[in-house]
A = this chain, B = another copy of it.
Amino acid sequence: MIGRLNHVALAVRDLAAATALYRDTLGARVSAEVPLPEHGVTTVFVELPNTKIELLAPLGEASPIARFLERSPEGGIHHLCYEVDDIIAARDSLRAAGARVLGDGEPRTGAHGKPVLFLHPKDMLGTLVELEQV
């Protein structure tokens, strides 16, 4: 069912510093900052040859990563995103296997303009997992 690892998302407090770390210290190619107010984050995409690292900083009052950064002030890995061909089929199959889908279970439009869902970390080995239909 799952295909490529689309991205690894890192929650960061200081997006400029995080971008400089990946660009200057680690020598990777990074995007400009992309504000995504409807998702409550500002993102920088780190383009690796085979996948992306997404640096996420809180944007606005109700950012979904604010609580994560309260618990982990230095930042950390927020979620993994796997690609699927058919997100509805994936959701139904996962639910049948007992995995909980977050929210109301209906896909919403993710940061890349494609349908996404999130799976409960307690059902995914302690990892928040995003599924993105590509």
Contacts and interface: CB of A to CB of B under 8 A. Distances in A.
B125 A76 contact: yes
A33 to B, nearest CB: 16
Interface stretch (A35-43, A45-53, A101-109): A45-53
The quantity of this chain's copies bound in the complex is: 2
A81 to B, nearest CB: 11
A5 B74 contact: no
A80 interface: yes
Nearest to A121: B74
Interface of A: 1-5, 8, 10, 12, 18, 21, 24-28, 48-51, 53, 55, 72, 74-77, 80, 82, 93-94, 97, 99, 121-122, 124-127
